[in-house]
Structure 1
Amino acid sequence: MELNRLLLFTAFLLHIKSSRMSPTGLVCDRRLIQKYIAEATDLEEQMRRCEELPLLNEPVQLPLVGFNLRDWIRKTNQAKGQEVLHNLGKLVEGTAAVQNELRQGCAVAPLQQLYERASTFLLHLRNFRGQEEGGGEQPEGASRVTPERNPKRIFQTYTQLVRGKLHFLFQDLWRDSCSREAPGDA
């Protein structure tokens, strides 16, 4: 058991090291965002098939991930990245809180998958951001959250985030970091 943990930790460190060496891999393969959108939709669909889920005893704070495209375009990539990082952080926190309350039933596996995917995005984007210009300022509207007691809403929030802000951020980062490498890819 201890050897398995050591191997897992070593693999994790190697993954982190390689992603720092080539952070653009996350955004330069334009097919990845489509894959992430499909996965988010699948997770949301899994939750829809769950029978009656109880409302949470304590509401979780979910980020408000809707946005105005005109305002989004005016922001710098750094500001967009900070906003997405903040949204993902709130989503991970909310997912962990829901997991603590719903420990059995059909929601357990999709919640774990959502937690892992959102955490992985958070990690990759932090690594990517770490190699760009620094900046730890709080993004505009960072405190925009809503209390939610319906566990299914966390999946809707994640899907909306991936289809919206994350998709557009990937497009912008691709344009800045990858388009010179693959001019024919649009």
Structure 2
Amino acid sequence: MGNRRTYGTNREDPVRGYADTAMEFPRLLALLLMVLEWTRPGLPSPLRPICDLRVLNHFIKEARDAEVAMKSCREGCSLSESVTVPQTTVDFEIWEKKNGSEQAQEVQSGLYLLQQALSLLRASVTATALQSHIDNSLRNLLSIHAVLRSLNIQEYTPPASAAELEGTWLVSTATDLLQVHVNFLRGKVHLLLLDAQACQQDVS
């Protein structure tokens, strides 16, 4: 572990060395337990811990970071054309009347639109710092897709055209797009994972 304190003759301090070993053992044990849990038969993906929402909260934070980076960007950070994005407002009365499959379909279509829009933004911007944030956001969207599949949610088949989707609107600026990204994760994605019985059973 790290830089160990030495005395005169460059010999390691035996007490410090013992302490380092004692601290390292629990970390190794925890890592071993995680590996065994992830490789146990019947678990389709190591991404299932998102059900406790801590991973999703991390994704939301990174989406906010991208939004902040966009607002401070002065050059090479524009969207080349208008893009279709999901509506982020939630009518809870209507949402609660939908079954799990309908809710999942709505979230998956929104994730698909965001992935397409962010990919276009990634190709449009030239600011390196902003590109890095967009790359993180795209990876996080793929991770959420993988989590939904691991929860036995039916795999989403995108339509031939975004115009076929309901509950969408057009944005023409990168700032608006990144704001939609944040709000969609905080809203419908959060609700779906919070309400999913599969999540509750998985962490119980």
- TM-score, normalisation: structure 1: 0.70
Q: Report the counterpart of residue 11 of structure 1 in structure 2.
A: none
Alignment of structure 1 residues 108-147 onto 2, 5 Å: 108-128=131-151, 131-132=152-153, 142-147=165-170
TM-superposed deviation, 1:120 = 2.0
Equivalent of 1:79 in 92, 102, 119 = 102
User: In 1, are the aligned partners of 2:84 and 2:170 still within 8 Å (CA)?
Assistant: yes
Structure 1: gaps of 5 or more residues: 1-13
Aligned equivalent of 2:198, options 168, 177, 183: 177
**Structure possessing the higher radius of gyration over alpha carbons:** 2
Counterpart of 2:111?
88
Instruction: Name the CA shift for 1:181/1:83 in 2 (closer, same or farther; >3 Å).
Output: closer
Deviation at 1:86, TM superposition (A): 0.4
Could you tell me the percent identity over the aligned residues? 19
Is 1:152 the counterpart of 2:172? The answer is: no
Aligned letter for 2:184? Answer: L
TM-score by length of 2: 0.65
Q: 1:63 — aligned with what? A: 86
SS at structure 2 position matched to 1:20: coil
- Return structure 1 stretches of 4+ with deviation > 4 angstroms: 21-24, 52-55, 132-138, 180-183
The structure showing larger relative contact order (alpha-carbon pairs under 8 Å, at least 6 residues apart) is 1
Separation (CA, whole Å) in 2 of partners of 1:90 and 1:120: 15
Task: From 120, 131, 151, give the equivalent of 1:97.
Answer: 120
Displacement, 1:80?
A: 0.7
Contact kept, 8 Å, 2:149 with 2:155, in 1: the verdict is no
Task: Check conservation: 2:76, 2:127, Cα contact below 8 A.
Answer: no
